[in-house]
Amino acid sequence: MQKDYKKVEASQVVISELMLPSHSNFNGKIHGGYILSLLDQIAFACASKHSGAYCVTASVDTVDFLRPIEIGELVTMKASVNYVGRSSMVIGIRVEAENIQTGDTKHCNSSYFTMVAKNNQGESVEVPGLILQNDNEIRRFAKSIKRNKMKKKRVQEFHETDFSSERYLHLLEEHKVKIEKD
C-alpha cells in the first residue's frame, strides 16, 4: 500500500550530462529536441518515483528555452513534483548549464510536464498527495493550479463550435497579417 502523502524532496531527481558535438544542431548549439528528450526522461523518473507506478506524458505545458547550451557544457536538470491531482502530477524542471572550465552557470530552461500514473492494464491510478514544507513548494503548487485553470480555458476556447471569424478580427489588428477572403 502506498503512503497517502509524500514530501516533495522524496521524489526529486537530478541528472547531469556533458553536452557532446553529436547533440548539436546546425548552428553549433545543443539541439532543443535533444534537451526535450532529456526533459521527458527526468519527468518520467520523478513522476514514477512519486507515484510508484509507470507514468506517461500527458502534456508539456511549458518549455521556455531561455539561453542556448554550448557543446562541452555540463547540463544539470532538477525535477520536482509541483502539483498532484487524482492520477496526474505536474513535474517542474529547471535546466542549468555549467562551463566546466570557468565554473560559470546559467539558467537555460524551465519546463512543466504533466504526467499520469498508470497500472499494468493502462488505467490511470491514484497518486499520493504532497506534503508542502516551505513557501517555495506552496508557490509552485499554487502556480500549477493557476496554469491548469488557464489550460482548461484554452482548451475550451479551441473547441468552440460556433466559431465566427468576425468575432476575432479585432485581435488581429496589431499583428502582421493580411486577410484575403474569397
Tens-digit pLDDT string for the chain (182 aa): 346 999 999 999 999 999 999 999 999 999 999 999 999 999 999 999 999 999 999 999 889 999 999 999 999 999 999 999 999 999 999 999 999 999 999 999 999 999 999 999 999 999 999 999 999 999 999 999 999 899 888 888 778 777 778 888 888 888 999 888 87
CATH assignment of 5-162, among 3.40.50.2000, 3.40.718.10, 3.40.980.10, 3.10.129.10: 3.10.129.10
Question: pTM of the full predicted structure?
Answer: 0.87
C-alpha torsion 81→92→36→87, nearest 10: 40
Backbone angles phi, psi at 112, to 5 degrees: -135, 115
SS3 content of the chain, % helix, strand, coil (to 5): 30, 35, 30
Tell me, what amino acid is at 177?
A: V
